[in-house]
Amino acid sequence: MSDRAYAFFEEQQKARGINIDEVKARLKALKIETPSWGYGDSGTRFKVFQKEGVPRNPFEKFDDAAQVHKLTGIAPSVAIHIPWDKVDDYGKLKIHAESLGLSIGAVNPNLFQDEDYMLGSVTNSDAAIRRKATNHLLECVDIAKETGSKEFSLWFADGTNYPGQGHIRKRKAWMQEALAEMYGALSPDMRLLIEYKCFEPAFYHTDLADWGMAYNLAQKLGPQAEVLVDTGHHLPGANIEHIVAYLLDEKRLGGFHFNSRKYADDDLIVGTVNPYELFLIFYQIVSAAGDSDAGVRQNAESITYMIDQSHNIEQKIPAMLRSVLNVQTQLAKALLINHDEVNEAAERHDVLGAEDAVRRAFEFDVTPLLHAIREEQGLPHDPMKAYLSSSYGKDILARGKGGASW
């Protein structure tokens, strides 16, 4: 049935003027980084439920991540979190990763779990704490040099819960100061990806609250600093794809942390709350990838796609598979947009025609296409099914409970 399905799909898309070979090539080029902490226990402030079989150390996290890559072919790197993934010998971790066909991706400093950071890390009014925090950033640069990582995902929990608690403008200066020091330590091929978040764990003000603050800071730091968009870090109603298009136009979109939100930073599996929004994000990216400005095109091609979620109740590896597959699905749909059709409708002020030309691509079932490219790459048609019918999930139960949590 699958072959017929694909043949029919191809015929249908070619009739629409879609270059199916290009679509396939771009789908095959997609790379989604999974986070080491996504394989461990996580939860809400009310409870972290403990799962059996959760990895007990960074090496086992890579083992699990390797399953996701083996079955999907598009998850070749793993982000690490320091100190959660602290090891004595990063060279060893790197070799372990490579032995599994993986590389070590973005390094994520952790500046929110030390008692000292209760009122801020790099924006703390205590200079000694700021120093400690900045040193941790520098330490992460050193680790990256050992692991071969080229990127840093910088999320700061820094902010305040009450008016007066902190001096907003001074904190702004301290943030810049710390990051400038870190920036100075980068190798020329490294990138800082600056993340923003509207709230949580700070509930009055967050030092880097929105894309504008992250972008402005990136500009001040220099060309190796870019903005990281976490899809869950926006206020209700925010048009994320607009922000994405804006940053691409400014050539400052560094990457994504994918997840889904319905209410706050819910950190659900990407693509489960409003899959159309994910599709519309990719629509902007695909549009930019075909721009006349080489810089915009280059930015669109160099985005780092990362998963960053909290699998509170789901099985960890299947949750990650589902996430990676959902991202792939929406990119596949976005690649079926006929941009000429959209733009021509827009230019003749045909609002409904333009909307339809976008939405129609979303309506296609891309399953046959995904089966086809997986087949071409020697991957199982249905990675989730393949995983569930493998013994891996059962084998790791031997690890017991009480593994790593974030």
| Interacting residues with its own copies between 377 and 406 (CB under 8 A) | 384
Taking CB under 8 A as the criterion, which residues in 359-378 touch its own copies? 359, 362-365, 367
CA torsion through residues 389, 395, 398, 399, sign: negative
Of the two residues 123 and 149, which places its CB atom closer to its own copies in the complex? 123
Of the two residues 59 and 246, which places its CB atom closer to its own copies in the complex? 246
Of the two residues 109 and 318, which places its CB atom closer to its own copies in the complex? 318
Alpha carbon distance 354, 280 (integer Å): 13
Nearest to 308 by CA among 363, 229, 366: 229
Q: How many residues does the chain have?
A: 406
Closest approach of its own copies to the CB of residue 206, in Å: 8
Contact letters (x/-) for its own copies, 221-260, by CB under 8 A? --------------xxxxx-xx--xx-xxx----------
**φ, ψ (nearest 5 deg) of residue 380:** -65, 145
Strand partners, 41: 405
**Is residue 204 a contact residue for its own copies (CB under 8 A)?**
yes
Do 334 and 358 touch, CB atoms closer than 8 A?
no
Residues 6+ apart with CB under 8 A from 169: none
Q: Which two tokens stand for residue 306?
A: 């990362």
Beta strands in 98-140 (DSSP E): 103-109
Among 184, 212, 290, 295, binds its own copies (CB under 8 A): 212
Give the range of 53-61, 82-90, 144-152, 309-317 binding its own copies by CB under 8 A: 309-317
Do 278 and 241 touch, CB atoms closer than 8 A?
no
Among 89, 169, 294, 394, binds its own copies (CB under 8 A): 169
Of the two residues 146 and 291, which places its CB atom closer to its own copies in the complex? 291
Q: Please classify residue 3 by burial: count the beta carbons closer than 10 Å to its beta carbon, then call 0-12 exposed, 13-18 middle and 19+ buried.
A: exposed
Closest approach of its own copies to the CB of residue 347, in Å: 5
**Is residue 119 a contact residue for its own copies (CB under 8 A)?**
yes
Of the two residues 92 and 167, which places its CB atom closer to its own copies in the complex? 167
Closest approach of its own copies to the CB of residue 128, in Å: 12
Closest approach of its own copies to the CB of residue 376, in Å: 21
